[in-house]
Amino acid sequence: MSEVAKVEPQSFIQGDTVKWTISLPTDKDGNQYLASDSWLLSYNFRGPASINLIMTGISPQITASGGDFAIVITAAQSALYTIGDYWWESYITKTAERYLVGSGGLEIKQNLAATLATYDGRSHAKIVLDAIEAVIEGRATTAQLICSIGGRSIQSWDPRELLKFHATYKGKYLAEQRKDCIRRGLSAGNNVLVRFK
């Protein structure tokens, strides 16, 4: 059994059980929002239009855990969520009071066990970077040649454009890798090199 996180998830796999516990800090006026003091925590999730329809009526289960809030999205619930990026806000309420206490984003990822079709897990940046490198190296497939950015296929770019977009998408891909390393608690590769005499 994995340890329950103390913050909202940044991502999870469709069909997985997701749990986290929230302890709300004291606000600027010294008020503390405790589950044991009848405060209620709620979340609103939003995403692209197709995702909003799936999210309607599906909410995390939130219960008091001492003064903290224990949140669970069941496997059955998350199986109904559409894959993609979501944005969320959390609110604390009590009688006529309501306050925003958190916001962020999360990604719902493909459940490979439930996938019968072919699947490409690369990000958009990685797909484009691979296509550009294949064109530069003269080994591009038809699918890579017709990959388009801004309405123009890669095969129509001149060498300067290829190099320009290669640098752009290499940067985007490296940024994704750094973000993933940070999320997993690994070194992000931003080491500072020091030479000793």
Please state the length of the chain.
197
Q: In the predicted model, is pLDDT for residue 91 greater than 70?
A: yes
Query: For position 17, what pLDDT does the model report?
Result: 93
Three-class DSSP category at 185: coil
Which domains are assigned to the chain? 11-112 (2.60.40.10), 124-183 (no CATH)
Whose CA is closest to 60, among 28, 106, 98?
106
Task: Tell me: pLDDT of 193 over 50.
Answer: no
d(CA 93, CA 86): 23
Measured CA distances, 83 to 9, 35, 68 (Å): 15, 31, 29
How much is the pLDDT for 152?
85
Mean local confidence (pLDDT), 82-104? 88
pLDDT tens figures, 1-58: 567 888 898 889 989 999 999 988 777 777 788 888 888 899 888 876 555 555 545 5
- The per-residue pLDDT for range 62-78, each reduced to its tens digit, is 998 888 899 999 999 88
Q: Given this model, what pLDDT does residue 192 score?
A: 43
Residue 105's closest CA among 166, 179, 185, 159?
A: 179
Quickly state the pLDDT bin for 197 (edges 50, 70, 90): very low
Q: Residues 121-178: pLDDT tens digits?
A: 788 888 889 989 998 888 988 888 888 887 888 888 888 988 998 999 999 989 888 8
Highest mean pLDDT among 65-69, 111-115, 182-186: 65-69
